[in-house]
Amino acid sequence: MSVTTTEAAPNRHEPKPKGGNVKGGLLDPKMLLKSTPDALRKLDPRTLWRNPVMFIVEIGAVWSTVLAVREPTWFSWLIVFWLWATVVFANLAEAVAEGRGKAQAESLRRAKSDAMARRLSGWTPGGTGTEEEVAAPLLQQGDIVVVEAGQSIPGDGDVIEGIASVDESAITGESAPVIRESGGDRSAVTGGTTVLSDRIVVKITQKPGESFIDRMIALVEGANRQKTPNEIALNILLAALTIIFVFAVATLQPLAIFSKANNPGVPDSQALDGNGVTGIVMVALLVCLIPTTIGALLSAIGIAGMDRLVQRNVLAMSGRAVEAAGDVNTLLLDKTGTITLGNRQAGAFLQLPGVTPEQFADAAQLSSLADETPEGRSIVVFAKERFGLRARTPGELNNANWIEFTATTRMSGVDLEDGHQLRKGAAASVADWVRSSGGTVPPELGGIVDEVSASGGTPLVVGEVRDGLARALGVIHLKDVVKEGMRERFDEMRRMGIRTVMITGDNPLTARAIADEAGVDDFLAEATPEDKLALIKSEQEGGKLVAMTGDGTNDAPALAQADVGVAMNTGTSAAKEAGNMVDLDSDPTKLIEIVEIGKQLLITRGALTTFSIANDIAKYFAIIPAMFVALFPGLDLLNVMRLHSPTSAILSAVIFNAIIIIALIPLSLRGVKYTPSSASKLLSRNLSVYGIGGIIAPFIGIKLIDLVVQLLPGMS
């Protein structure tokens, strides 16, 4: 199992906007002004037809303009103006969302320059090859390039030789350099980043024009944004409602002819007789009946959701992944670096009977001197601080043979020149080594090992061969520290209806102890890549959506299978290609934030859809009585807002219909605040806040607009 390592980054969970420090949700007048030309360009029917609701509104605005030219009145021209304003405001919502992305893309473009690359031909490992200078955009997949200190990496790829410190601030926004080296799970580099020290050889893995920066620019600008399944389904519903209301309004024409024939005393200005004024009134009725509010904001909501991910340095390959994150039922999380701090520390030395604490501490320190892992260094420090042992280095020991750790032996150690041998490693491996060296393992050792494992620690056994006698000395207790606040976060996941599963290579006893301390719902111990894949398939067969993180090549199959696969930017190219999201900060806990962003996207869309449908109720009370009161005086009872006149009522409803779009742009960009709770509570809150609020707000808004509109000429 690969272990994800999180690189230090201050305030990692805070959004870090790029390109102008754009604040989510704030309606900046400068941004509105800057986005207006784009909104006007979107009036092109070839662009607008993708939004059926607003396309119908534009057709109605064109027809009303023609009718107003034929029969010009103050009323008709005011209706025409606000119909066009409705279309422009809808386009403006999308343009503002895209404009925020374009501001972010500017800084990314500065990182993507037409740099030159030092391409190597005939390169072999350890060799040099023939070097030639080519333009970075001309690099092909599989090309080998060399990059030295001070130079920019010309394209996405994997380090195949060397190690270097790399500045990735242009991509991640973090000023702290990171280490990239050949082999392992920290070999991937991103085009546009800068090598600060040393020299590396990179194999290009991207195709021309498909680098991470290219994809980020396209993502934040909305150029390649595809509608998600839920968004498509909602668009179909809105289109169906629009078509129904088109037919409903069209049937008013026969009613107009019939009403005029049976009510000859009704003035033409008040009868539905098909003249210019009534035609415009029917368009106004249609625009107020169809769900223009959510139709106008739907695209902006989707773009803003992607924008929130980018602000948190997450690159989503598609909107489908963002939406799936909001529907996730099962969350698979690596233990190391995600649930725990990742660096296990020596917490206790537990010697066997017959071994003094000083003897064991000396043996533990000696066997760890050449161990450069955080665990090995912590053992050396613990022995020094707790037992007063002086600091020693491997170079002080003459003719010592240092035994490196391997996955096969699962232990490391040292052979000293006097024949003294020390080994430190997994309990079973050291026990087998002691037996093979002619010694015996006391039964007490197994009890200590089980006790350490049951407490959530990792046991490392130390053994020795001295003067021909092999024996086990005791156990080093390595403590895996659970990150602060993880239990609270998992409680939140549980309230959201999400099941959390911890993935670890530890034995079941250790895994259970950490799982209980962290508060996860389940765990998978001694996990292999095949185990992860089988677990994901099992969950999906039960109808659940699964999200997971990974960084290694061995994680690629599981990342590809998961509904939401978040690859670490520090990971291999295979992992990043398999996942549908890439975390540029390489922070495994980011998966929890991604799920919350996905849920916020779904809730925002649902809230504004509820509000849009609810506020149509007030429009019915405004327009229907205004249209029919002359024919059916009893309908005046429906004029609960006591609007001034039929013309002012109709105009007020149309104006409110346009203004509410502008008023809701900040909410669509910022998103509805998400509070972890059950689906039933979220539905109740949506209905109470945005359902009831969507009914009340238009009554107040239309009445206030009517008080102003009635002062205009022609509104008597």
Residue pair 595/316 in contact by the 8 Å Cβ criterion:
no
Q: Is 598 exposed, middle or buried (0-12, 13-18, 19+ CB in 10 A)?
A: buried
334 counts as catalytic: yes
Closest CA to 571 of 163, 247, 158, 268: 158
Active-site hit among 334, 480, 563, 587:
334
| Main-chain phi, psi angles of 415, to 5 degrees | -110, 115
Burial of 518 per CB tally in 10 Å (0-12, 13-18, 19+): buried
Amino acid at 526: E
Q: Kindly list the distances between the CA atom of residue 708 and the CA atoms of 15, 77, 82, 648, 652, in Å, as whole numbers in the listed order.
A: 42, 17, 15, 9, 9
Burial degree of 392 (CB within 10 A; 0-12, 13-18, 19+): middle
Binding-site sequence positions:
371, 375, 405-412, 424, 551, 555
Q: Is the CB of residue 65 less than 8 Å from the CB of residue 32?
A: no
Taking alpha carbons only, the member of 514, 528, 500, 431 closest to residue 472 is 431
The SS3 of residue 252 is helix
Nearest to 599 by CA among 545, 518, 542: 545
Q: At what angle do helices 319-326 and 292-311 cross, to 10 degrees?
A: 90
Task: Copy the structure tokens of residue 647.
Answer: 């013309």
CA-nearest of 449, 461, 462, 460 to 509 is 449
Residue 256 near residue 278, CB atoms below 8 Å: yes
CA distance 573 to 570: 9
In whole angstroms, give the CA distance from residue 586 to residue 190.
13
Query: Which amino acid makes up residue 297?
Result: L
Question: For the residues of 423-467, what is the DSSP string, one character each?
Answer: EEE-HHHHHHHHHHTT-B--THHHHHHHHHHHTT-EEEEEEEEET
CA dihedral 639→640→641→646, nearest 10 degrees, is: 0
The full DSSP string for 350-368 is EEPTT--HHHHHHHHHHHH
d(Cα 494, Cα 24) in Å, to the nearest integer?
28
Task: Give me the residues paired with residue 619 across strands.
Answer: none
Say which DSSP state 690 is in.
I
The residue count for the chain: 716
Annotated binding site for Mg(2+): 551, 555
Rounded CA gap, 530 and 156, in Å? Answer: 28
Residue type, 586: S
Distance CA 582, CA 180 (A): 17
Bridge partners, residue 131, by sequence: 120
Active-site residue set? 334
